[in-house]
Amino acid sequence: MFASKIKNKNIALIESNMKIGQKIKVSGGAKCNITNEHVSYKNYLGDEEFTRDTLASFTNKDLLNLLNQNEVYPKVNPKIVKGTYFCNSSKDVISMFEKLTTHTKKFMNTKVLDVEILEKESSKLFKIKTNNQIIEAKKLIVASGGLSYEGLGASSIAYDIAQKFGHTIKKTKPALVGFTVQKDQFWFKNLSGLSCMVQTKVADKTFDGSLLFAHKGCTGPVILNSSLYWQKGKMSIDFLPNKKLESFLKGNKKISSAFPLPKRFMIEFLSSIDLEDKALSSLNFEEKEKLKLLKNYEFAPAGTFGYTKAEVTSGGINTDEINHKNFESLKQKDLYFIGECLDITGELGGYNFQLYFAQACKCAKELK
Protein backbone atom coordinates (compact mmCIF):
# COMPACT_ATOMS: atom_id res chain seq x y z
CA MET A 1 0.00 0.00 0.00
CA PHE A 2 2.78 2.44 0.90
CA ALA A 3 4.60 1.89 -2.39
CA SER A 4 1.37 2.41 -4.35
CA LYS A 5 0.97 5.87 -2.83
CA ILE A 6 4.46 7.18 -3.67
CA LYS A 7 4.71 8.00 -7.37
CA ASN A 8 7.35 10.72 -7.73
CA LYS A 9 10.29 9.09 -5.96
CA ASN A 10 12.57 6.11 -6.54
CA ILE A 11 10.98 3.29 -4.56
CA ALA A 12 12.44 -0.17 -4.02
CA LEU A 13 10.25 -2.93 -2.62
CA ILE A 14 12.15 -5.75 -0.87
CA GLU A 15 10.07 -8.92 -0.58
CA SER A 16 11.15 -12.27 0.86
CA ASN A 17 8.61 -14.20 -1.25
CA MET A 18 8.56 -14.81 -4.98
CA LYS A 19 5.36 -12.75 -5.29
CA ILE A 20 3.90 -9.83 -3.35
CA GLY A 21 0.89 -10.09 -1.05
CA GLN A 22 1.25 -13.67 0.15
CA LYS A 23 -0.44 -12.95 3.47
CA ILE A 24 -3.26 -11.23 1.59
CA LYS A 25 -3.55 -14.38 -0.50
CA VAL A 26 -4.40 -16.65 2.44
CA SER A 27 -6.50 -14.18 4.42
CA GLY A 28 -10.20 -14.79 4.88
CA GLY A 29 -10.03 -18.26 3.39
CA ALA A 30 -8.44 -16.80 0.23
CA LYS A 31 -11.21 -14.19 -0.03
CA CYS A 32 -9.40 -11.47 1.92
CA ASN A 33 -11.41 -10.08 4.84
CA ILE A 34 -10.23 -6.58 4.04
CA THR A 35 -12.20 -4.23 6.32
CA ASN A 36 -15.33 -3.94 8.44
CA GLU A 37 -18.53 -1.90 8.45
CA HIS A 38 -17.93 -0.90 12.05
CA VAL A 39 -14.32 0.19 12.61
CA SER A 40 -13.41 1.78 15.94
CA TYR A 41 -10.30 2.14 18.06
CA LYS A 42 -12.17 -0.11 20.51
CA ASN A 43 -11.51 -3.04 18.16
CA TYR A 44 -7.77 -2.81 18.80
CA LEU A 45 -5.32 -3.67 21.55
CA GLY A 46 -2.73 -0.91 21.89
CA ASP A 47 -2.40 2.88 22.13
CA GLU A 48 -5.97 4.17 21.77
CA GLU A 49 -5.10 7.73 20.71
CA PHE A 50 -2.55 6.54 18.15
CA THR A 51 -5.07 4.04 16.74
CA ARG A 52 -7.94 6.56 16.64
CA ASP A 53 -5.86 9.17 14.78
CA THR A 54 -4.58 6.63 12.26
CA LEU A 55 -8.04 5.23 11.50
CA ALA A 56 -9.43 8.75 11.03
CA SER A 57 -6.77 9.50 8.41
CA PHE A 58 -7.91 6.67 6.10
CA THR A 59 -11.35 5.28 6.88
CA ASN A 60 -13.08 2.09 5.81
CA LYS A 61 -14.97 4.21 3.24
CA ASP A 62 -11.66 5.48 1.85
CA LEU A 63 -10.42 1.92 1.49
CA LEU A 64 -13.64 0.74 -0.17
CA ASN A 65 -13.48 3.68 -2.59
CA LEU A 66 -9.89 2.79 -3.51
CA LEU A 67 -10.86 -0.82 -4.10
CA ASN A 68 -13.91 0.09 -6.18
CA GLN A 69 -11.85 2.49 -8.30
CA ASN A 70 -9.62 -0.46 -9.11
CA GLU A 71 -12.54 -2.79 -9.89
CA VAL A 72 -12.43 -4.71 -6.62
CA TYR A 73 -15.85 -4.90 -4.99
CA PRO A 74 -15.90 -6.40 -1.49
CA LYS A 75 -19.21 -7.36 0.08
CA VAL A 76 -20.28 -7.81 3.69
CA ASN A 77 -20.47 -11.41 4.83
CA PRO A 78 -21.54 -11.51 8.50
CA LYS A 79 -21.39 -15.31 8.78
CA ILE A 80 -17.84 -15.24 10.16
CA VAL A 81 -17.64 -11.93 12.03
CA LYS A 82 -20.31 -9.23 11.99
CA GLY A 83 -19.72 -6.48 9.43
CA THR A 84 -16.74 -8.07 7.70
CA TYR A 85 -16.09 -7.19 4.07
CA PHE A 86 -14.80 -10.06 1.95
CA CYS A 87 -13.49 -9.79 -1.61
CA ASN A 88 -14.49 -12.20 -4.34
CA SER A 89 -10.90 -13.45 -4.28
CA SER A 90 -7.68 -12.41 -2.57
CA LYS A 91 -6.09 -12.52 -6.00
CA ASP A 92 -8.12 -9.44 -6.98
CA VAL A 93 -6.46 -7.39 -4.24
CA ILE A 94 -3.00 -8.68 -5.10
CA SER A 95 -3.55 -7.89 -8.80
CA MET A 96 -4.61 -4.37 -7.82
CA PHE A 97 -1.40 -3.78 -5.90
CA GLU A 98 0.68 -5.28 -8.70
CA LYS A 99 -0.79 -2.69 -11.08
CA LEU A 100 -0.42 0.15 -8.58
CA THR A 101 3.25 -0.62 -7.95
CA THR A 102 4.56 -1.05 -11.51
CA HIS A 103 6.68 2.08 -10.98
CA THR A 104 8.64 0.45 -8.14
CA LYS A 105 11.78 -1.65 -8.42
CA LYS A 106 11.03 -4.98 -6.84
CA PHE A 107 13.61 -7.23 -5.22
CA MET A 108 11.74 -10.52 -4.98
CA ASN A 109 12.87 -13.62 -3.07
CA THR A 110 15.14 -11.28 -1.10
CA LYS A 111 15.54 -11.55 2.66
CA VAL A 112 16.85 -8.65 4.71
CA LEU A 113 19.63 -9.83 7.01
CA ASP A 114 20.80 -6.59 8.61
CA VAL A 115 20.64 -2.81 8.35
CA GLU A 116 23.44 -0.35 9.06
CA ILE A 117 24.02 3.37 8.67
CA LEU A 118 26.47 4.20 5.89
CA GLU A 119 28.32 7.51 5.97
CA LYS A 120 28.58 8.68 2.37
CA GLU A 121 30.11 12.04 1.57
CA SER A 122 27.94 14.60 3.39
CA SER A 123 24.90 12.34 3.81
CA LYS A 124 23.86 9.19 5.61
CA LEU A 125 22.31 6.18 3.90
CA PHE A 126 20.81 2.94 5.10
CA LYS A 127 22.91 -0.02 4.05
CA ILE A 128 20.48 -2.92 3.72
CA LYS A 129 22.21 -6.29 3.65
CA THR A 130 20.19 -9.05 1.99
CA ASN A 131 20.80 -12.65 1.00
CA ASN A 132 21.31 -11.49 -2.60
CA GLN A 133 22.94 -8.07 -2.51
CA ILE A 134 23.40 -4.78 -0.67
CA ILE A 135 20.78 -2.07 -1.24
CA GLU A 136 21.28 1.56 -0.23
CA ALA A 137 18.42 3.91 0.65
CA LYS A 138 17.93 7.44 1.97
CA LYS A 139 14.79 6.45 3.83
CA LEU A 140 13.77 3.02 5.08
CA ILE A 141 10.18 1.94 5.74
CA VAL A 142 9.93 -1.36 7.60
CA ALA A 143 6.63 -3.18 7.03
CA SER A 144 7.73 -6.78 7.36
CA GLY A 145 5.03 -7.94 9.76
CA GLY A 146 5.35 -10.04 12.90
CA LEU A 147 6.19 -13.65 13.72
CA SER A 148 2.98 -15.28 12.47
CA TYR A 149 2.97 -17.43 9.33
CA GLU A 150 6.65 -18.29 9.10
CA GLY A 151 5.83 -20.28 5.97
CA LEU A 152 4.93 -17.00 4.26
CA GLY A 153 8.25 -15.37 5.12
CA ALA A 154 7.47 -14.01 8.59
CA SER A 155 10.55 -13.30 10.69
CA SER A 156 11.82 -11.14 13.54
CA ILE A 157 13.65 -8.74 11.20
CA ALA A 158 11.45 -5.73 12.03
CA TYR A 159 12.09 -6.20 15.75
CA ASP A 160 15.79 -6.83 15.11
CA ILE A 161 16.13 -3.57 13.17
CA ALA A 162 14.14 -1.66 15.77
CA GLN A 163 16.25 -2.95 18.65
CA LYS A 164 19.46 -2.18 16.76
CA PHE A 165 18.42 1.47 16.63
CA GLY A 166 17.46 1.65 20.30
CA HIS A 167 13.76 0.73 20.30
CA THR A 168 12.08 -1.37 22.97
CA ILE A 169 9.87 -4.30 22.03
CA LYS A 170 6.70 -4.99 23.97
CA LYS A 171 6.39 -8.73 24.65
CA THR A 172 5.06 -10.50 21.58
CA LYS A 173 2.62 -13.42 21.51
CA PRO A 174 0.51 -15.32 18.98
CA ALA A 175 -2.91 -13.64 18.56
CA LEU A 176 -6.14 -14.49 16.76
CA VAL A 177 -5.27 -18.11 17.43
CA GLY A 178 -6.84 -21.21 18.95
CA PHE A 179 -6.39 -22.40 22.55
CA THR A 180 -4.89 -25.61 23.81
CA VAL A 181 -6.58 -26.97 26.93
CA GLN A 182 -5.72 -28.43 30.30
CA LYS A 183 -6.71 -31.88 31.54
CA ASP A 184 -10.14 -30.78 32.83
CA GLN A 185 -11.05 -29.69 29.30
CA PHE A 186 -9.72 -32.71 27.42
CA TRP A 187 -13.36 -33.49 26.65
CA PHE A 188 -13.14 -30.62 24.11
CA LYS A 189 -10.84 -32.85 22.02
CA ASN A 190 -13.49 -35.56 21.83
CA LEU A 191 -15.72 -33.04 20.03
CA SER A 192 -13.17 -32.18 17.31
CA GLY A 193 -14.97 -30.83 14.22
CA LEU A 194 -18.13 -29.79 16.09
CA SER A 195 -19.08 -26.12 16.23
CA CYS A 196 -21.67 -24.11 18.14
CA MET A 197 -22.61 -20.47 18.70
CA VAL A 198 -21.41 -19.18 22.06
CA GLN A 199 -20.51 -16.03 23.95
CA THR A 200 -17.10 -15.65 25.56
CA LYS A 201 -15.85 -13.28 28.23
CA VAL A 202 -12.18 -12.51 28.65
CA ALA A 203 -10.67 -9.58 30.55
CA ASP A 204 -13.26 -6.81 30.02
CA LYS A 205 -14.29 -8.02 26.56
CA THR A 206 -17.33 -10.01 25.42
CA PHE A 207 -17.55 -11.78 22.05
CA ASP A 208 -20.36 -13.63 20.28
CA GLY A 209 -19.68 -16.10 17.52
CA SER A 210 -18.84 -19.62 16.47
CA LEU A 211 -16.63 -21.89 18.57
CA LEU A 212 -15.03 -24.86 16.83
CA PHE A 213 -13.77 -27.76 18.90
CA ALA A 214 -10.41 -29.07 17.68
CA HIS A 215 -8.08 -31.97 18.38
CA LYS A 216 -5.83 -29.58 20.32
CA GLY A 217 -8.60 -27.72 22.13
CA CYS A 218 -10.81 -25.02 20.63
CA THR A 219 -10.73 -22.43 17.89
CA GLY A 220 -13.22 -20.58 15.67
CA PRO A 221 -13.85 -16.82 15.32
CA VAL A 222 -15.04 -16.25 18.90
CA ILE A 223 -11.95 -17.98 20.31
CA LEU A 224 -9.57 -16.18 17.94
CA ASN A 225 -10.89 -12.82 19.14
CA SER A 226 -10.72 -13.94 22.77
CA SER A 227 -7.07 -14.91 22.34
CA LEU A 228 -6.12 -11.30 21.57
CA TYR A 229 -7.07 -10.20 25.09
CA TRP A 230 -6.25 -13.37 27.03
CA GLN A 231 -3.27 -12.92 29.37
CA LYS A 232 -3.21 -16.31 31.09
CA GLY A 233 -5.74 -17.22 33.74
CA LYS A 234 -9.45 -17.88 33.35
CA MET A 235 -12.03 -16.92 30.75
CA SER A 236 -15.64 -18.07 30.42
CA ILE A 237 -17.98 -19.49 27.79
CA ASP A 238 -21.77 -19.15 27.67
CA PHE A 239 -23.01 -22.11 25.61
CA LEU A 240 -26.56 -20.72 25.70
CA PRO A 241 -26.10 -17.05 24.71
CA ASN A 242 -29.22 -14.91 25.04
CA LYS A 243 -31.12 -17.83 26.55
CA LYS A 244 -32.25 -18.58 30.11
CA LEU A 245 -31.22 -21.91 31.55
CA GLU A 246 -34.43 -22.24 33.56
CA SER A 247 -36.59 -22.34 30.43
CA PHE A 248 -35.01 -25.69 29.48
CA LEU A 249 -35.33 -27.39 32.86
CA LYS A 250 -38.99 -28.27 32.48
CA GLY A 251 -40.62 -31.48 31.27
CA ASN A 252 -39.49 -35.08 31.33
CA LYS A 253 -36.97 -35.16 28.49
CA LYS A 254 -33.47 -36.42 29.06
CA ILE A 255 -30.95 -33.64 29.69
CA SER A 256 -29.08 -34.28 26.43
CA SER A 257 -32.27 -33.75 24.43
CA ALA A 258 -33.70 -30.80 26.32
CA PHE A 259 -31.16 -28.14 25.36
CA PRO A 260 -30.71 -26.52 21.90
CA LEU A 261 -27.17 -27.85 21.64
CA PRO A 262 -25.73 -30.79 19.67
CA LYS A 263 -26.43 -34.04 21.49
CA ARG A 264 -22.81 -35.06 21.02
CA PHE A 265 -21.77 -31.93 22.90
CA MET A 266 -24.26 -32.52 25.71
CA ILE A 267 -23.10 -36.10 26.25
CA GLU A 268 -19.47 -35.01 26.60
CA PHE A 269 -20.39 -32.03 28.75
CA LEU A 270 -22.45 -34.14 31.16
CA SER A 271 -19.63 -36.66 31.43
CA SER A 272 -17.16 -33.86 32.21
CA ILE A 273 -19.25 -32.65 35.17
CA ASP A 274 -20.03 -36.19 36.31
CA LEU A 275 -23.77 -35.91 35.74
CA GLU A 276 -25.92 -38.78 34.46
CA ASP A 277 -28.01 -38.12 31.36
CA LYS A 278 -31.43 -38.58 32.92
CA ALA A 279 -34.91 -37.06 32.91
CA LEU A 280 -35.13 -33.39 33.87
CA SER A 281 -37.92 -34.16 36.34
CA SER A 282 -35.55 -36.34 38.37
CA LEU A 283 -32.88 -33.67 38.87
CA ASN A 284 -32.21 -32.48 42.40
CA PHE A 285 -31.02 -29.00 43.40
CA GLU A 286 -27.30 -29.83 43.25
CA GLU A 287 -27.64 -31.38 39.79
CA LYS A 288 -29.46 -28.32 38.49
CA GLU A 289 -26.70 -26.15 39.92
CA LYS A 290 -24.14 -28.15 37.93
CA LEU A 291 -26.02 -27.37 34.72
CA LYS A 292 -25.49 -23.67 35.35
CA LEU A 293 -22.02 -24.24 33.93
CA LEU A 294 -23.68 -24.15 30.51
CA LYS A 295 -24.17 -20.41 31.09
CA ASN A 296 -20.81 -19.72 32.70
CA TYR A 297 -18.20 -22.35 31.92
CA GLU A 298 -14.95 -21.03 33.36
CA PHE A 299 -11.62 -22.48 32.30
CA ALA A 300 -7.99 -21.48 31.98
CA PRO A 301 -6.50 -22.32 28.58
CA ALA A 302 -3.19 -24.18 28.72
CA GLY A 303 -1.82 -21.98 25.95
CA THR A 304 -2.33 -21.29 22.25
CA PHE A 305 -1.72 -23.13 18.98
CA GLY A 306 1.37 -20.93 18.50
CA TYR A 307 2.71 -18.58 15.83
CA THR A 308 2.35 -21.13 13.01
CA LYS A 309 -1.44 -21.06 13.44
CA ALA A 310 -1.84 -17.43 14.56
CA GLU A 311 -3.40 -14.88 12.23
CA VAL A 312 -1.27 -12.08 13.70
CA THR A 313 1.36 -11.25 16.31
CA SER A 314 0.39 -8.95 19.16
CA GLY A 315 2.93 -6.85 21.02
CA GLY A 316 5.86 -5.39 19.10
CA ILE A 317 7.66 -2.09 18.72
CA ASN A 318 6.72 0.37 21.45
CA THR A 319 4.53 3.04 19.83
CA ASP A 320 5.70 5.63 22.37
CA GLU A 321 8.94 5.62 20.38
CA ILE A 322 7.23 6.26 17.05
CA ASN A 323 6.13 9.65 15.64
CA HIS A 324 2.36 9.36 15.51
CA LYS A 325 2.07 11.74 12.57
CA ASN A 326 4.32 9.99 10.07
CA PHE A 327 5.49 6.73 11.76
CA GLU A 328 9.11 7.83 11.82
CA SER A 329 11.32 6.39 14.52
CA LEU A 330 12.01 8.80 17.36
CA LYS A 331 15.35 7.03 17.76
CA GLN A 332 16.65 7.22 14.18
CA LYS A 333 15.92 9.83 11.52
CA ASP A 334 14.50 8.55 8.19
CA LEU A 335 13.61 5.14 9.65
CA TYR A 336 9.88 4.27 9.68
CA PHE A 337 7.84 1.36 11.02
CA ILE A 338 4.30 0.45 9.92
CA GLY A 339 2.04 -2.58 10.13
CA GLU A 340 1.98 -5.65 12.31
CA CYS A 341 5.45 -5.03 13.78
CA LEU A 342 4.01 -2.16 15.87
CA ASP A 343 2.37 -2.77 19.24
CA ILE A 344 -1.20 -2.31 17.98
CA THR A 345 -3.30 -5.33 17.03
CA GLY A 346 -6.86 -5.60 15.77
CA GLU A 347 -9.60 -8.15 16.28
CA LEU A 348 -10.70 -10.66 13.67
CA GLY A 349 -12.96 -9.23 10.98
CA GLY A 350 -10.92 -7.05 8.61
CA TYR A 351 -9.67 -4.71 11.33
CA ASN A 352 -5.97 -5.38 10.86
CA PHE A 353 -5.87 -4.77 7.11
CA GLN A 354 -7.83 -1.55 7.66
CA LEU A 355 -5.29 -0.35 10.24
CA TYR A 356 -2.20 -1.37 8.27
CA PHE A 357 -3.45 0.26 5.08
CA ALA A 358 -4.33 3.41 7.03
CA GLN A 359 -0.82 3.49 8.51
CA ALA A 360 0.74 3.06 5.07
CA CYS A 361 -1.35 5.84 3.54
CA LYS A 362 -0.67 8.24 6.39
CA CYS A 363 3.06 7.54 6.27
CA ALA A 364 3.14 7.96 2.47
CA LYS A 365 1.22 11.24 2.64
CA GLU A 366 3.83 12.69 4.99
CA LEU A 367 6.71 11.58 2.76
CA LYS A 368 5.39 12.78 -0.60
DSSP-assigned beta bridge partners for residue 195? 212
**290 and 200 within one domain:** yes
**Taking 90 as the threshold, does the pLDDT of residue 149 lie above it?**
no
**Structural domain includes residue 309:** no
- 116 and 250 both lie in a single domain: no
Question: What is the rounded distance in angstroms from the CA atom of residue 331 to the CA atom of residue 325?
Answer: 15
Q: Are residues 36 and 91 in the same domain?
A: yes
Which residue pairs from 279-282 have beta carbons closer than 8 angstroms and sit at least 24 positions apart in sequence?
Answer: 279/252, 279/253, 279/254, 280/249, 280/250, 280/251, 280/252, 280/253, 280/254, 280/255, 281/251, 281/252
Residue (of 12, 6, 26) closest to 91 by Cα position: 26
In a domain, 310, yes or no: no
Q: With respect to residue 332, please indicate whether it lies within any of the assigned structural domains.
A: yes
- Over residues 280-300, mean pLDDT: 97
Q: How far apart are the first and last CA of the chain?
A: 14
Domain that holds residue 221: 179-304
Is there a contact between 45 and 230 (Cβ–Cβ < 8 Å)?
Answer: no
Do 131 and 187 reside in the same domain of the chain? no
CA–CA separation, 362 and 243 (whole Å): 45
pLDDT tens across 27-81, in order?
999 999 999 999 999 999 999 999 999 999 999 999 999 999 999 999 998 777 8
Q: What is the DSSP letter of 165?
A: T
pLDDT higher than threshold 90 for residue 120: no
- Alpha helices by DSSP H, listed for the chain, are 2-5, 22-26, 48-57, 60-69, 90-100, 157-164, 221-229, 255-258, 263-272, 285-291, 351-367
Q: What percent of the chain has pLDDT over 70?
A: 100
Could you tell me if 76 and 161 lie in one domain? Answer: yes
3-state secondary structure of 249: coil
User: In this structure, are 287 and 320 located in the same domain?
Assistant: no
Choice among 62-66, 225-229, 269-273, 364-368 with the minimum mean pLDDT: 364-368
Shared-domain flag, residues 137 and 70: yes
Span 77-101, average pLDDT: 93
CATH of the domain at 290: 2.40.30.10
Paired strand residues for 344: 46
Residue 300 has pLDDT above 80, yes or no: yes
Tell me the backbone φ, ψ of residue 344, rounded to 5 degrees. Answer: -140, 125
In a domain, 253, yes or no: yes
Same domain, 43 and 123: yes
Say if 220 falls within a structural domain. Answer: yes
- The Cα–Cα gap between 1 and 356 comes to 9
Asked if the structure places residue 74 within a domain, the reply is yes
Q: Residue 291: pLDDT above 90?
A: yes
The total number of structural domains in the chain stands at 2
What tens digit of pLDDT does each residue of 177-208 get? 999 999 999 999 999 999 999 999 999 999 99
Q: Which of 304, 326, 345 is the last residue of a domain?
A: 304
Contacts of residue 79, Cβ cutoff 8 Å, sequence gap at least 6: none
